[in-house]
């Protein structure tokens, strides 16, 4: 890894940011693919660093993943920015994604969004001031259309939402 260039143009290593646990998880994913296709481990790796870093992935962590997998950094960023399950900005303790895709939209997801926004005092994509809840910017269909409208709270599906059920769910979060 060397081009004798101006020292100020050299990038620093971020490998030390990965915890042993994260590295073990990445290794688990790396083992599943042949070396030439190690790019495939990027999703597993991004999940691992996101978990390690209380729910979001910093650019430094992306660099660390790219170094660890030995793949171009831009591939890591492409994946991190493509999927709504990855967060590249700091987030709250709880992540709430309200589906706004077609079935949920037909079943009134716009109202659900509005209700949640008013209740929490934040817009989609924002985090409450106390750092408790983030309303995820957008969520595509997660194949729960039969229970539309729906939302995902920290990975758990909640279907057939009503204002009342939203109150209950949000109230139950620490």
Partner 1 sequence: MTETSNQVPDDKVTIEIDGQTVLADKGSMIIHATDRHGINVPRFCYHEKLSIAANCRMCMVDVEKAPKPLPACATPVAEGMKIYTRSKRATSGQKNAMEFLLINHPLDCPICDQGGECELQDVAMGYGRDVSRFVEGKRSVADEDLGSLVASDMTRCIHCTRCVRFLNEIAGTDELGGIGRGDRTYIATAIGQGLDSEMSGNIIDLCPVGALTNKPFRFKARAWELMATAGLSMHDGLGSNIYYHTRHGKILRAVPQKNESINEAWLSDRDRYGIHGLNNDKDRITQPMVKKSGQWNVISWDDALRILADKLKNTAPQEIALYAGQHATSEEYYLLKKLFKQLGSDQHEHRLTHVDFSGPYRAPRTDVALTDVAKQKNIIMVGTYARHEQPILNHKIRQAWLHGAQINAFGPCHFEQNFDLNLDITGHQLAWVEKLGSLAVSLSEISGQKPDGALGEWLSQQHADEDINSLAKKLLKKEEGALFVVGQIANRHPQANLINALVHWMAALINASVNEVVDGANTMGAALNGLYNDQDIKNNDHTVNIIYQAEIQDFAEPAKIKECLINSEMTVVFNAFCDDALKARADLILPTTLLPESSGSLVNNYGQRQTALVAHKAPGESKPGWRVLRVLGNVMGFDGFDYEDVYELMQETEKLKTLTSENPVLAKVNQLKVKGLVLFPHHGIYDGDMLVRRSAPLQESKLATADTVYVNPGDLVSIGFAVGDLVSVEQNGRYAELTLATDDAVPASSAVINMGRDSSLNINAGELSVSIIGAQS
Least Cα distance to 52 among 25, 32, 76, 70 occurs for 25
Q: SS3 breakdown of the chain: % helix, strand, coil, rounded to 5?
A: 50, 10, 45
Which of residues 148, 151, 161, 166 is near ligand FES by CB under 6 A? Answer: 148
Main-chain phi, psi angles of 84, to 5 degrees: -75, -10
- SS3 state at 51: helix
Q: Per-residue x/- mask for ligand FES, residues 86 to 105, rule CB under 6 A?
A: -------------x-xxxx-
Given a contact cutoff of 8 angstroms between Cβ atoms, the answer to whether 23 and 43 are in contact is no
**Residue 22 binds which entry of partner 1, ligand FES, none, with Cβ cut-offs from 5 to 8 Å by kind?**
none
Task: Give yes or no for residue 151 binding ligand FES (CB under 6 A).
Answer: no
Half-sphere exposure of residue 9: CA atoms within 13 angstroms, side-chain side: 5
**Residue 101 binds which entry of ligand FES, partner 1, none, with Cβ cut-offs from 5 to 8 Å by kind?**
ligand FES
User: Inter-axis angle of helices 42-52 and 59-69, to 10 degrees?
Assistant: 140
**Residue 164 binds which entry of partner 1, ligand FES, none, with Cβ cut-offs from 5 to 8 Å by kind?**
none
Binding residues with ligand FES: total (CB under 6 A):
12
Q: Checking phi first, is residue 160 left (phi over 0); if not, alpha (psi -120 to 50) or beta?
A: left
Which of residues 122, 141, 153, 170 is near ligand FES by CB under 6 A? Answer: 141
Q: For residues 72-91, which are near partner 1 according to CB under 8 A?
A: 72-78, 81-82
**Residue 5 binds which entry of ligand FES, partner 1, none, with Cβ cut-offs from 5 to 8 Å by kind?**
partner 1
Task: Give yes or no for residue 144 binding ligand FES (CB under 6 A).
Answer: yes
Can you give the binding site for partner 1, defined by CB under 8 A?
1-11, 59, 62-63, 66, 72-78, 81-82
């Amino acid at each position: 890894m060397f081009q004798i260039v101006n020292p100020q143009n050299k990038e620093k290593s971020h490998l030390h940011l990965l915890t042993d646990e994260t590295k073990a998880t990445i290794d688990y994913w790396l083992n599943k693919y042949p070396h030439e296709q190690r790019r495939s481990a990027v999703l597993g790796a991004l999940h691992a660093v996101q978990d390690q870093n209380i729910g979001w992935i910093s650019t430094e962590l992306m660099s660390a993943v790219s170094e660890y997998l030995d793949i171009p950094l831009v591939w890591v960023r492409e994946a991190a920015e493509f999927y709504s399950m990855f967060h590249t900005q700091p987030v709250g303790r709880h992540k709430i994604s309200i589906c706004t895709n077609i079935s949920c939209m037909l079943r009134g997801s716009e109202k659900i969004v509005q209700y949640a926004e008013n209740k929490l005092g934040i817009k989609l994509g924002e985090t409450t001031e106390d750092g408790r809840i983030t309303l995820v910017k957008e969520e595509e269909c997660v194949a729960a259309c039969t229970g539309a409208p729906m939302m995902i709270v920290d990975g758990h599906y909640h279907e057939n939402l009503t204002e009342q059920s939203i109150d209950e769910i949000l109230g139950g979060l620490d």
